[in-house]
Amino acid sequence: MISQKMLIEFSKIEQDTIIELYEVDLTDIIGEKTIFRFHNGLNELRQSIVWQGHVYDPYPIKVSGFQKNGQGTSNRPSMVVSNAFGLITGLSRNYDDLLGAIVTRHQVLAQFLDSVNFEEGNNKADSTQEILSRYIIERMTTLNSETASFELALPCESDGTLLPARVIIAHTCCWKYRSAECGYTCGAVADELDNLTNDITKDKCSHSINGCRLRFGKNSILPFGGFPSSAKLS
């Protein structure tokens, strides 16, 4: 919904710069409030942009493919972000390629930004003047040392449509070791190569079925987070 104030500004021959701010909300995936806020640039002070009191850090991000279509299937925007220092690699490894994360785009006219963005303040600052678009990360399309690409979808098209709600990997457990999904809470067992150890600092799961058996027993029901049977499909 666009406010009357925004419509008036858009109707002018000379329009102010539109600032696009992005939030990536991992709260539902991680289980605690975790929101990354990005903007592909800086404010007048050469600092992070502040909108509605939140800081949007300068970080290479590009989202394209937004369309408004009332007929047929909706568009699938593409989000490309920097993988500097392996940030996205680490997050995708621990949290199922970030599937289900909520991406929010804030479109704001520069004249309405918070006063702290300007050297002499801003008497036109208005935190209510924005256009919001929300999407869900549907899948990761590419990941390398430089960038990561994701396909986005409307929330109404993603709810309950991804079965299972994570990537199918045959022989690798996706659970974080000693997490609630993993369920292991006892002493040290083995390192990441399944070499037995009593040193808790070296205790790391190999994320394999063998690593799971070492901790829960050969004849126990294993909380293995992979899909072994998927490798048997032709």
pLDDT in tens, 103-149: 999 999 999 999 999 999 999 999 988 988 899 999 899 999 899 99
pLDDT of residue 167: 61
pTM beyond 0.95: the answer is no
Confidence check: pLDDT of 59 > 90: yes
pLDDT in tens, 20-35: 999 999 988 888 889 9
How buried is 80 (Cβ within 10 angstroms: 0-12 exposed, 13-18 middle, 19+ buried)? middle
CA distance 121 to 105: 25
pLDDT of residue 168: 63
Confidence check: pLDDT of 91 > 90: no
Confidence check: pLDDT of 233 > 50: no
Average pLDDT over residues 196-209: 92
Average pLDDT over residues 53-65: 92
Query: Helix (H, G, I), strand (E, B), or coil: what is residue 81?
Result: strand
For the CA atoms of 143, 145, 146, 148, the dihedral, rounded to the nearest 10 degrees, stands at: 20
Tell me 196's DSSP state: B
Whether the CB-CB separation of 107 and 134 falls below 8 Å is answered with no
Whether the CB-CB separation of 171 and 228 falls below 8 Å is answered with yes
Task: Choose between 110 and 75: higher pLDDT.
Answer: 110
